[in-house]
Amino acid sequence: MKYCSFIPNAGGEINECCREHDFQYSEFGTLTRAEADMALRQCAGKRHPKRAFIGWVIVRLFGWIYWKKK
């Protein structure tokens, strides 16, 4: 399953970063929203720093829509 819509053709490692971010946004996540977003930025930024920054801005602006949505 593809999780990283902001990074076209994201490989397994980057896709795993996004999968973890989605998990943290679920009711089972243990991080705050800000922590989950920063973890995504740091993880994805290892391979795609510019795209990771853009993705981080997007999740900070619009992630509240999905945060802990049941």
The dihedral over CA atoms of 61, 70, 27, 32, expressed in degrees to the nearest 10, equals 20
Q: For residues 50 and 31, what is the distance between their CA atoms, to the nearest angstrom?
A: 24
In a domain, 44, yes or no: yes
Is residue 8 a part of any domain in this protein? no
pLDDT score for 7:
67
* Spatial separation of the C-alpha atoms in residues 22 and 64, rounded to whole Å: 12
Tokens of 66: 């999905």
27 burial type by CB count under 10 A (0-12 exposed, 13-18 middle, 19+ buried): exposed
Q: Is residue 1 part of a domain?
A: no
Model confidence pLDDT, tens digit, residues 4-16: 776 667 778 888 9
Query: Count of domains in the chain?
Result: 1
pLDDT in tens, 11-70: 788 889 999 999 999 999 999 999 999 999 999 999 889 988 998 999 999 999 999 875
**Residue 59 lies in domain:** 14-25+32-65
User: Which residue reads 């994805």 in tokens?
Assistant: 44
